[in-house]
Chain A
Amino acid sequence: MQGGAAGLAYRGRTASIGFAHGPFVRVDAGTNGARVVGNLAEEALALRAAIDKASGQIADLAEIAGGEAAQILEFQVALLEDEDLVEAIFASIGEGDAADVAWRTALDAQIADYNAAPDEYLQARSSDLADLRDRVINILRGGGGQPQAIPSGAVVCAEDLPPSRFLEIDWSGGGGLALLGGSPTSHVAMLARARGIPMVVQLGAIPDAGATALLDGEGATLELDPSAEQVRLFEKRHESHRKSRASARAILRRPTASWRGEPIKLFINIQRVADLDHADAQYADGIGLMRTEFLLTERGALPDEETQFQAYDAVLRWAARRPVTIRTFDAGGDKPVSGFTLDGEANPFLGVRGLRLCLARPEIFAVQLRALARAAVRGNLKVMFPMVTSADELEAGRQLFADIVQRLQADGVAAMLPELGIMVEVPAAALAIRSFKAAFFSIGSNDLAQYVLACDRSNGALAPLMDPLHPAVLELIARTAEHGRRAGISVSLCGDMAGDPRCLPALLNCGLRELSVNASALAQIKQTIDRLSSGGSLG
C-alpha cells in the first residue's frame, strides 16, 4: 500500500467493489461445543428435530431477505428435504453413530465432492453445504443458532461466511466482508454484490487482533488499525471511486462512445456464456471476442458439435443483431488441453498452438467449424483464427471451413461461411498485414507484446520490461490500424491494453476505433474516452 503507514495491510481478491471503514469483527463458525449422546432412538429424534428447526429458520430468513437471497436459501431447504441424503444419515445413526457425527460425516462427504469439482461455480456451492452443516450442528448442540452480535458498519472477517450468516447480519449501516478464504463466485459474493457490500476474498492469514479496519473492495486490500495517513488515503480513494462510478454509470447508458467526433465502438470479451449475465454487458456494441477454450475444459472430454452449437447460438441470441466475434480454439502455449495439445514441447509459446494446432488436428477443428457454420445462419457471426503467422494458414483454415459448409448444405443443413478474420498477435502478421485476405483484424496485444518484447508474460521477473506501451508494440498496432483504414477493413484490439485507461490515449492515437474489453471495464473505458475527448486528463 502507498503511504508511510504503521497499520498492517493485506491484499486479496475482489469479490464485490466498495469501501468500508469500521470496527473489525472476527467471526468464526463456533461449532466446537460438546453434547451428550443419547440412545439410537433419541439420536434419530434429535436429528429430526434439528432438521425441522433449521428448515424453519432458513424459511424465516428467506422470507425476510426475499429475491435472490431467497432463491439461494431454497437450495438449502431442498437439501434438507432430500430423502436420499437424509435417509442415509438416519441409517448411520441406526448403526450407532451420534446424530451430530452422522450429520457431519455425510455433509463433509458432499462438501469434499463439490470441492473436487472442476468448475468454480460448483466448488463455491460447497459453502452453502457448510452453512447448512453448521446450522444443524449448532442446533444439535443446543446453540439454537443464536448469532454473535455484530455492530453496525463493521468489517466482518471470517475464514468463509455462509450465505445464511451473511443474511443474519444487519448491513443497513454499511460495513464490509473480509474473507481469508472464499471465492468471488460464491453465493455470499453474489449477495454482497447485490447489496453493494464491499467484499474481499482470499486474504490468507490475518492476525486475530485489530480494532478498526479499512476495506477497499476495488484495490482488494484490508488495512488493520490504520494510521491517520492511511485513513486519509483511503477516504480519498473512496471519494474518487464514488465520483467516477456515478458518472461512469451515466455515461454507459449513452448510445455510442466518441472521441474527437469519431465513433468508438466498444465490444466485450467473454470467456463463457455466463459472462453475459454481467449487468453492464447489455451496453456493449457487440462481442469482440468470445473465447471457446472453456468448451475444451468444462466437461473433461472434447465437446461434441451440438454442445458447441448450443453455446454459440446462446450468445448470438443474446446479441440479437449485434456482431459476435468467436475465436476458434486457442489451445497450446500456456493453455494445455489433454487429448488435444502436444506434450513435451520445449517452448510451447513458440510451439504448435492456436490455428497451428487446429490445422494439425483437423478432426477436432472440423467439429468446431461445423458448429460455427450452423450458428452463422442464426445471427451476426464473425469467426477469427488465433496465432496466425502466414497468409497460407488463413487460406488453409478458410478452405477447410468452406468444404464443411458445402457438405452441410449438401446434406440439407442450414449453414453458411461467416466473415473470417485473424488475430494479429504474431509480429510477422503485424508486419506483413497486407498479405492477409481477412475480413477483419483483431489485435491480441498480450501475445503481441510478449513476442515483440521477448518477455514471457507469466514471468514476474520481467514485469518492468513487459510494457505494452513500448514504442515497438505501438508501432505494430499503428501499422495494423493504418492498413485497416486504407483498405476499409475493421481493426479492433481485444487484449488487456484495451481495458487499461492508461493505455487508451496511445491506442486512440494509433488510429484504433474499436476496442473490446471485459464487461466490468466497459463503464470505466467509456468514461475515459469521454474525458479524453473533451480534452481532460485520465482522472
Chain B
Amino acid sequence: MLDKADEQIFTGNVRLVHAVGMHARPAVKLTKLAKKFQAQISVRVEGAPEWINAKGVAKIMAMRAAHGSTIEIKASGSDAEAAVAALVELIATDFPDGAP
C-alpha cells in the first residue's frame, strides 16, 4: 500500500460541527463512506499523536473528537484525492441523513 515511496498523499482539515462530537451515528457514517474508497485513509483530531484508520468504527468512536475540534484527514492510493474530498464534505455538512 504505502510501499511506493513516491505515492502521493492527500490531506484535508475540517471542523467537526456536529453538536455532540464524533459519536455513534457520525462515526458509522464516516467509516461507511471511507470504506467506499480503495485508498488507505487515516484521521486524527488535530495534533493528536496517533493516526486512526478511518474504516474502523471502534477506534473512530474512541478518538473522542469533540464538537468544534478540527479533524485532519490523510489518504494515499488510487482514489485518495476523491476520498479526502468526500470525507471533508461529509463532516463539514454535519453528516446529513441520506449520506452514505
User: Which residues on A are within 8 Å of B, measured CB to CB?
Assistant: 71-72, 74-75, 78-79, 81-85, 110, 113-114, 117, 119, 121-122, 125, 128, 187, 273-274, 276-277, 298-299, 303, 306-311, 314
The answer to whether B25 and A71 have CB atoms under 8 Å apart is yes
> Whole-angstrom distance between the alpha carbons of A388 and B82 in the complex?
54
Is A122 touching B28 in the complex (CB atoms < 8 A)? no
Q: Which residues of B contact A84 (CB under 8 A)?
A: 53, 55-56, 58-59
Between-chain CB contacts (< 8 Å), 12 pairs:
A74-B25, A74-B28, A78-B27, A82-B55, A83-B55, A110-B62, A113-B62, A121-B20, A122-B23, A187-B24, A273-B20, A303-B68
Given A75-B24, A117-B64, A122-B64, CB of A82 within 8 Å of CB of B31: yes
With the chains together, A258 CA to B9 CA distance in Å? 62
Determine if B67 and A310 form an interchain contact, defined as CB atoms under 8 angstroms apart.
yes
Q: Cα distance A308–B66 when bound, in Å?
A: 11
**Chain A binding surface SS class:** helix
CB distance from A319 to the nearest CB of B (A): 14
With A and B bound together, what is the CA distance between A2 and B6 in angstroms? Answer: 77
Residues of A within 8 A of B35 (CB): 81
Alpha-carbon distance A307/B58, docked complex (angstroms): 25
The answer to whether A273 and B62 touch across the interface, beta carbons within 8 angstroms, is no
Give the shortest distance, in Å, between A21 (CB) and chain B (any CB): 34
B17 interface contact, C-beta 8 A: yes
Residues of B within 8 A of A72 (CB): 24
Q: Is the CB of A128 within 8 A of B31?
A: no
Residues of B within 8 A of A83 (CB): 55-56
Q: Assuming A122-B64, A274-B20, A299-B66, what are 7 further A-B pairs, CB within 8 angstroms?
A: A75-B27, A79-B57, A82-B55, A82-B58, A83-B55, A85-B59, A310-B17
Across the interface, do A273 and B23 meet the contact criterion of CB distance under 8 Å? no
Which residues of A sit under 8 angstroms from B15, Cβ to Cβ?
A: 306, 310
Min C-beta distance of A294 to chain B, whole Å: 10
Contact A78 B25 (CB under 8 A): no
- The answer for the CA separation of A311 and B23 in the assembled complex, in Å, is 17
Complex CA gap A276/B24 in Å reads 19
Given A75-B24, A75-B27, A82-B31, A277:B62 Cβ within 8 A? no
* Interface flag for B11 (CB, 8 Å): no
Residues 26-72 of B at the A interface (beta carbon under 8 Å): 27-28, 31-32, 35, 53, 55-59, 61-62, 64, 66-70
For B5, the chain A residues whose CB sits under 8 A away are none
Q: Are B68 and A78 in contact, with the CB atoms below 8 A?
A: no
Question: Does B19 belong to the interface (CB within 8 Å)?
Answer: yes
Tell me if B64 and A78 are in contact (CB < 8 A).
no
How far is the CB of A164 from the nearest CB of chain B, in Å? 14
**8 Å CB contact of B19 from A82, A122, A273:** A273
Closest Cβ neighbor of B15 among chain A residues: A310
Note all chain B residues with C-beta closer than 8 A to A125: 23-24, 61
Q: CB-nearest residue of chain B relative to A107? A: B58
Q: Which of A114, A119, A121, A309 contacts B62 (CB 8 A)?
A: A114
A-chain residues with CB within 8 Å of residue B58 when the two chains form the complex: 79, 82, 84-85, 110
Across the interface, do A128 and B24 meet the contact criterion of CB distance under 8 Å?
yes
Which chain A residue has the least Cβ–Cβ distance from B35? A81
CB distance from A69 to the nearest CB of B (A): 12
Residue of A nearest to B70 (CB): A306
Tell me the complex Cα distance, A77–B10, Å. Answer: 29
Contacting residues, chain B, for A276 (C-beta < 8 A): 19
- CA gap between A72 and B31 in the complex, in Å: 15
Quote the shortest CB–CB distance from B62 to chain A (angstroms). Answer: 6
B70: A residues at CB distance < 8 A: 306
Closest beta carbon of chain B to A299's beta carbon, Å = 5
Question: Which chain A residue lies CB-closest to B30?
Answer: A78
Q: In the bound complex, how far is the Cα of B67 from the Cα of A311, in angstroms?
A: 8
Interchain nearest-CB distance for A293 vs B (Å):
15
Min CB gap A86→B, angstroms: 9
Q: Which A residues are CB-close (under 8 A) to B20?
A: 121, 273-274
Residue of A nearest to B59 (CB): A84
What is the CB-to-nearest-CB distance from A397 to chain B, in angstroms, rounded to a whole number?
Answer: 24
Q: Using CB atoms, name the residue of chain A closest to B45.
A: A299
Question: Which of A110, A121, A310 contacts B68, CB < 8 Å?
Answer: A310
Q: How far is the CA of A187 from the CA of B15 in the complex (A)?
A: 26
Return B41 CB to nearest CB of chain A, in Å: 13
* Minimal beta-carbon separation of B98 from chain A (angstroms): 12
In the A-B complex, list the 10 residue pairs whose CB atoms are closest, starting with the nearest. Answer: A84-B56, A307-B68, A310-B68, A78-B57, A75-B24, A78-B28, A82-B56, A85-B58, A273-B19, A274-B20
Q: Bound complex: CA of A6 vs CA of B61, how far in Å?
A: 47
- Give the shortest distance, in Å, between B33 (CB) and chain A (any CB): 12
CB proximity of B37 to chain A, nearest CB, Å: 14
A273→B28 CA distance, assembly (Å): 22
The reply to whether B53 and A306 form a contact with Cβ atoms under 8 Å apart is no
Nearest to A84 among chain B residues (CB) is: B56
Given the interface contacts A71-B25, A75-B24, A121-B20, does A311 sit within 8 Å of B68 by beta carbon?
yes
* CA–CA, A74 and B23, complex, Å: 13
Complex contacts, A117 vs chain B, CB 8 Å:
64
CB of A306 within 8 A of CB of B68, answer yes
Q: Are B61 and A122 in contact, with the CB atoms below 8 A?
A: yes
List residues of chain A with CB within 8 A of the CB of B57.
75, 78-79, 81-82
Please measure, in the bound complex, the distance between the C-alpha atom of A187 and the C-alpha atom of B24, giving whole angstroms. 10
Bound: A308/B46 CA distance, A: 16
A276 and B68 alpha carbons, distance in the complex (Å): 16
For the complex formed, measure the closest distance between the CB of A322 and the CB atoms of chain B, giving whole angstroms.
Answer: 18
Using Cβ atoms and an 8 Å threshold, which residues of chain B touch A81?
35, 57
CA of A310 to CA of B21 in the docked complex: distance in angstroms?
Answer: 12
| Smallest Cβ-Cβ distance to A117: which chain B residue | B64
